[in-house]
Amino acid sequence: MAYATFDDIAKRITANESDWERYDALLEDAAIIIDAYNANAPETAKRLVSCNMVIRVIGSESEGMPIGATQMTASALGYSQTWANANGSGELYLTKMDKKILGAGNRIGFLSPYKETE
28-85 pLDDT, tens digit each:
999 999 999 899 999 999 999 999 999 888 876 665 555 445 566 778 878 877 766 5
1 part of a folded domain: no
**Residue 55 falls within a domain, yes or no?**
yes
Is 118 domain-assigned?
Answer: no
Domain count within the chain: 1
Burial class, 51, CB count within 10 angstroms (exposed 0-12 / middle 13-18 / buried 19+): buried
**CA dist., res. 34 & res. 101, Å (int):** 11
- Inside any domain, residue 57: yes
The answer to whether residue 59 is domain-embedded is yes
Q: How far is residue 37 from each of residues 41, 49, 60, 79, measured CA to CA in Å?
A: 9, 12, 23, 45
For residue 12, CA distances in Å to 40, 48, 67, 94 come to 25, 10, 24, 18
The answer to the question of residue 10 being in a domain is yes
* C-beta of residue 78 within 8 angstroms of C-beta of residue 103: no
Rounded Cα gap, residues 35 and 53, in angstroms: 13
For the whole model, what pTM was predicted? 0.69
- Domain of residue 77: give its range: 6-101
Is 117 domain-assigned?
no
Q: Tell me if 25 is assigned to some domain.
A: yes
